[in-house]
Structure 1
């Protein structure tokens, strides 16, 4: 059975991983800044749902098969890289629009919470590094023959930590929504976040 000390240690490692700058961080920040706190929180919950999936499959050994198979790992990696690049390019396209059309796009380009949730979920599920993290992490906190309750407990803790962190981040960024949605600032934000997402896509593809 997982002890209280082990649970705290596990939650600390998951929190550090969630706080590390990466595609998840950029996605939540962008949705919180542009579409508001609800969209940012929804993206964070989508990411947390992806974390739950990876934690469970890692505990049952499925993710280790992905990590061990070069072909499967490469396929997931490339799909994830293309998806991140797509999100980045989509943001950059908005920057290239000028004048009144660009101002109108600022109002229309916000996304609904359900869309933000889906993007967060897909981004996390297509991140093979998340699979590798839980393949390395879960066995350290599970017994040699873990039962289902033990696995679900750690997976639930991973979801809780990830969801709370990204919800806090989304709310903090969402407080500045009015500032971020001004046309000039929005173009700068789209340029920066779009470029970073494309860069992450290229980096993942080349790793």
Structure 2
């Protein structure tokens, strides 16, 4: 069973490190408001994973993954939220033209924890991932529900450690990112990236 868990953790680690909407949301928040807000965003994302995990264990995520209508509703809501965050970043980049090196950047709108939670909860791919892949990785020595719950906890822990480390790395370079010209460029880049992820989520199939 230990080798099965080790293999599952390796697969989950690789999937966790693949850049996606969560990393884009964390990058925007950490650069805009600092490492504390970045870590709170990571906390929200982790909370979203745990919520999906609970839904998976009780079987509701499987219903969502199997229902085209429910999947589409969650997919479009998640896509709209990512596009909203992207447009918000583009607007901030335009406002930033009037800033000088001595001007404090505007604080991001909304709770960082809620931002992370909402961006993750409205990602139906997590439901498909949990109901489609996790059962194949669950250790055979445990009851199915217990094995799935354990893998969800491992995935949440890996996500928190990976994104948390990424936030602290960004914090070390925040002085560079806070330069007005760099800040405007990063806002534009992250805005385009978030809108791109939103459009990708909206057009993908289960």
TM-score, length basis structure 1: 0.88
Equivalent position of 1:32 in the other structure: 30
Distance 1:99 1:161 in 2: 38
SS of residue in 2 equivalent to 1:189 = helix
SS of residue in 2 equivalent to 1:109 = coil
Alignment of 1:162-173 (within 5 A): 162-173=159-170
1:39 touches 1:116 (CA, 8 Å); kept in 2? Answer: yes
Distance 1:163 1:176 in 2: 20
CA change 1:59–1:13 in 2 (3 A) is farther
Alignment of 1:1-207 (within 5 A): 3-97=1-95, 99-100=97-98, 107-110=105-108, 115-140=111-136, 141=138, 143=140, 146=143, 149-207=146-204
Over the aligned positions, Cα root-mean-square deviation in angstroms equals 2.3
- In structure 2, stretches of 5+ residues that fail to align are none
1:40 touches 1:174 (CA, 8 Å); kept in 2? Answer: no
- In structure 1, stretches of 5+ residues that fail to align are none
Shift of 1:56: 2.5
TM-score, length basis structure 2: 0.88
Deviations 1:46-102 (A, max 9, x none): 111111122232233211110110000000000000000000000101122255358
Shift of 1:137: 2.1
Equivalent pairs counted in the alignment come to 203
Shift of 1:152: 3.4
CA change 1:18–1:145 in 2 (3 A) is closer
